[in-house]
Structure 1
Amino acid sequence: MREMIQLLAEIVNMFHDLFLNLSESLGWNLSDKELHFWIIGLLGIIGLIFVDIVFHALAKWSVTAISFFFTLSMVLVFVLAVEIQQKITGRGAMEFNDAAVSVLGFLAFCTVYFIVKMIVKWVR
C-alpha cells in the first residue's frame, strides 16, 4: 500500500511539474493555486459529465445501482483513509491487502443484501 501511494504521489508530482512548465512556456505563469483551480476544475467537470451520463443510464435500470456505486466510492475513500491513518499512527500495518479485503467485505455484504432484496421482491 505504501508503495502504491508513493507511486501515485510520484505520478501526481510529475503531472504537476509538467503543467507548471507548460504554463510557464505558454507565458501564463500560473501560481500553484491557479494551477490547482484549473486542473482540478477541468478534471472535476470531466468526471461530473462522465458520472452524469453513467448515472442517468443506471437510473433507467435501477436506483439501487446508483446507490451501490456511490457507496462503493465512499467505501474506497474510507478504506484509503484508514490505511493512511494506520501508517501515520503506527497502529496496524498499511497494506494493500488490507484495503482489498475491506472492499471485498463490502462487496460480500452487498451480495447478501441484493439476494435478500431479490427474494423479497420475488415473494411479493
Structure 2
Amino acid sequence: MKDFILLLAEIINTLHDLIFAISNRAGWNLTDKDLHLWVFGIVGILAFIVVNVVFKYLAQFSITAISFIYTFTVLVVIVFAIEIQQKLTGRGNMEFHDAVISLWGFILFFAGYLAIKGIYNLMKKFFYKKKH
C-alpha cells in the first residue's frame, strides 16, 4: 500500500516539478497554489475527456456498466481513505492487500448481481414467448 501511494505521489510530484520548471523558464513565478491549479486542472481535464469518451461508448449498451465504473471508483477512494486512516490512527494495518480484497468483495457481489439479473431476464423472455 505504501509503495502504491508513493508511486502515485511520485507521478504527481514529477508533473508538479515539470510545470514548475516550465513556468520558471517562462518567467511566470507560479506559487504552490498556482501549481496545484495547473496540475489538477490538466490531470482532471485529461481524465474527464477519457471518461467521457468511454462512458458515451458504454451508454450505447448499458447504463449498468457506467454505474459499475462509478461505484468502483467511489469504492477505490473509500478503501484507500480507510487504509490511510488506519495508518494515521494505528487502528489496523495499512496494507495494499486489504484494499485489493475489499475491491474484490465488490466485484464478487456485483458478479452475483449480474448472474441474478441475467437469470431474471432469461426467465422473463422465456415466459413472454410462452404467453405469445
Normalised by the size of structure 2, how large is the TM-score? 0.88
The residue matched to 2:71 in structure 1 has which SS?
helix
The residue matched to 1:92 in structure 2 has which SS?
coil
1:108 aligns to 2:105 (yes or no): no
Deviations 1:3-61 (A, max 9, x none): 22123223322332222122101111111111211221122112111111110110001
Q: Which amino acid aligns with 1:118?
A: G
Q: After the TM superposition, which residues 30-41 of structure 1 pair with which residues of structure 2 at under 5 Å, given as runs?
A: 30-41=30-41
1:12 aligns to 2:12 (yes or no): yes
Q: Which residue of 2 aligns with 1:64?
A: 64
Report the Cα distance in structure 2 between the residues aligned to 1:107 and 1:101, rounded to whole angstroms: 10
1:82 aligns to 2:82 (yes or no): yes
Contact 2:75 2:103 (C-alpha < 8 Å) held by counterparts = yes
Cα separation, partners in 2 of 1:24 and 1:44, compared to 1, 3 Å = same
Normalised by the size of structure 1, how large is the TM-score? 0.93
Could you tell which deviates more after superposition, 48-57 or 14-23?
Answer: 14-23
Deviations 1:53-84 (A, max 9, x none): 11011000100000000001011111100100
Contact 2:20 2:35 (C-alpha < 8 Å) held by counterparts = yes
Q: Which has the larger radius of gyration?
A: 2
**Same amino acid, percent of matched pairs:** 49
Report the Cα distance in structure 2 between the residues aligned to 1:9 and 1:86, rounded to whole angstroms: 19
Q: CA RMSD in A?
A: 1.2
How many residues get paired? Answer: 124
Q: Which amino acid aligns with 1:68?
A: F
Gap regions ≥5 residues in structure 1:
none
Report the Cα distance in structure 1 between the residues aligned to 2:42 and 2:3, rounded to whole angstroms: 28
Contact 2:87 2:94 (C-alpha < 8 Å) held by counterparts = yes
